[in-house]
Amino acid sequence: MNLAVSSLVQRFTDPQTRAMTTVLDGLTLATGDIQALVLVGPSGGGKSTLLRILAGLDVPVAGTVAFDGEALPATEAGLIGYRRTVGTVFQAYNLFPHLTAMQHLLLPLVQVHGLAEAEARERVREPLERFGLDAHAHKRPAELSGGQKQRVAILRALAVRPKRLFLDEPTSALDPEMTGEVLDMIGELKAAGTQFVLITHEMAFARRVADEIAFIADGGCPVLAPPGEFFDHGRDPKVSAFLQRTLHA
């Protein structure tokens, strides 16, 4: 995928104070032809806001976004169609408490994409086995570990065979063992050819999985580079300070 973001601006208004906050302030970046883009940076720098715009969930105040030379739709109707072609995974899982793991995977295939239930079950059978969830397919979220719940959320996004995945810190709420489970899964997905944009605070994983790393801070992107260049951080003081904090925490 080639991603081109130009002069992106996003502002939000506090519903109580009516004060306006600028989260993205003219952010511009252009990747090469890559498979995995990883977004890193300090909290509040604009990473999640950028990811939501890339996934078609939010519309910016100004600026443009294009994947492979095709601009994101500008209308809500167009964005609805775009969202059906991508998958999005959040740190909070967003699972329904009354549905089993299997039902979560079947829901978008049957209700949104119109597959017959038998066809949908056949499509998800192999992924459930591959990622160690076939024995847990009958369980509801309360019966699953954090790592299992996040793997279900990722498989739900993958079930529709999206063009690419958007993942917003999928391991931030997990303990180290469960974090390893999910990161291994994402690594396998990359090996299988899945395109994705990922926010993570796991720097070792970012170095391993990214084709390019974008540093998002203060509403902009001062550094976009392959991992080897990115971690040679002496050339940018913001990146240097960030890595000092995260790598030595």
User: Which tens digit of pLDDT belongs to each residue from 120-177?
Assistant: 999 999 889 988 899 999 999 999 988 898 889 999 988 888 999 999 988 877 778 7
CB atoms within 10 A of CB 119: 11
Distances (CA, A) of 219 to 2, 188, 196: 21, 32, 21
Q: How far apart are CA 92 and CA 90, in angstroms?
A: 6
The band of 241, judged by pLDDT with boundaries at 50, 70 and 90, is confident
pLDDT tens, position by position, 5-64: 999 999 998 778 888 899 999 999 999 999 999 999 999 999 999 999 999 999 999 999
Q: Are 39 and 206 in contact (CB under 8 A)?
A: no
**Cα angle 132-133-134, degrees, rounded to a multiple of 5:** 100
Residue 235 has pLDDT above 80, yes or no: no
The larger pLDDT score, comparing residue 16 to residue 71, is at 71
Q: Mean of the pLDDT values across residues 187-215?
A: 93
Q: Sketch the domain layout of the chain as residue ranges.
A: 97-152
Q: How deeply is 133 buried, as exposed, middle or buried, from its count of CB atoms within 10 A (0-12, 13-18, 19+)?
A: buried
Tell how strand 3-13 and strand 62-67 pair up: antiparallel
Residue 233: the pLDDT is 63
pTM reported for the whole predicted model: 0.90
Q: How far apart are CA 247 and CA 249, in angstroms?
A: 6
